């Protein structure tokens, strides 16, 4: 009887602690590391496309090579851009040019902390 009561109390306690965590909406800054990675991939891919354009304009690449390389890099960069758009659309997170959170993202994170904790952290 005592064992059953202890098991019941344990189950109720676990549910009491975990249910609020499961109900919390997706935090807006969870994907920040992935967004930084995507930012670097995007920067590298766009730099490669610009480099191909410059080499073609200087005459270092033939028309066929230029088109083939441009298509290859476009097919590599487009999924990165789509992933960035998906994450930013979901999370409303923004990075500035240095890869850190912009003011809008900081304010969104702060309001989420205030919503969950009920008070402003100092």
DSSP letters of 28-85?
TTTTHHHHHHHHHHHHHHHHHHHHHHHHHHTT-S-HHHHHHHHHHHHHHHHHHHHHHH
Interatomic CA distance for residues 46 and 53, integer angstroms: 11
Q: How high is the pLDDT of residue 122?
A: 52
Q: How high is the pLDDT of residue 103?
A: 74
- pLDDT tens for the chain, 122 residues: list them: 888 889 999 999 988 888 776 665 555 555 667 778 888 998 898 888 889 888 999 999 899 998 999 889 888 888 888 887 777 665 544 555 565 666 777 777 677 666 666 655 55
Q: How high is the pLDDT of residue 29?
A: 53
Q: How high is the pLDDT of residue 58?
A: 92
pTM: 0.48
Q: How high is the pLDDT of residue 27?
A: 53
Interatomic CA distance for residues 75 and 16, integer angstroms: 48
Q: Are 38 and 80 a contacting pair, CB within 8 Å?
A: yes
């Amino acid at each position: 009887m005592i064992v059953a009561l202890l098991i019941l109390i344990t189950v109720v306690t676990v549910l009491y602690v975990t249910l609020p965590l499961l109900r919390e909406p997706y935090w807006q800054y969870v994907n920040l590391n992935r967004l930084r990675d995507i930012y670097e991939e995007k920067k590298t891919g766009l730099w490669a496309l610009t480099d191909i354009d410059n080499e073609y304009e200087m005459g270092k690449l033939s028309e066929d090579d230029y088109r083939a390389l441009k298509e290859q890099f476009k097919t590599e960069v487009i999924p990165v851009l789509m992933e960035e758009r998906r994450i930013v659309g979901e999370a409303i997170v923004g990075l500035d040019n240095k890869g850190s959170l912009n003011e809008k993202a900081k304010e969104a994170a702060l309001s989420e902390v205030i919503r969950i904790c009920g008070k402003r952290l100092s």
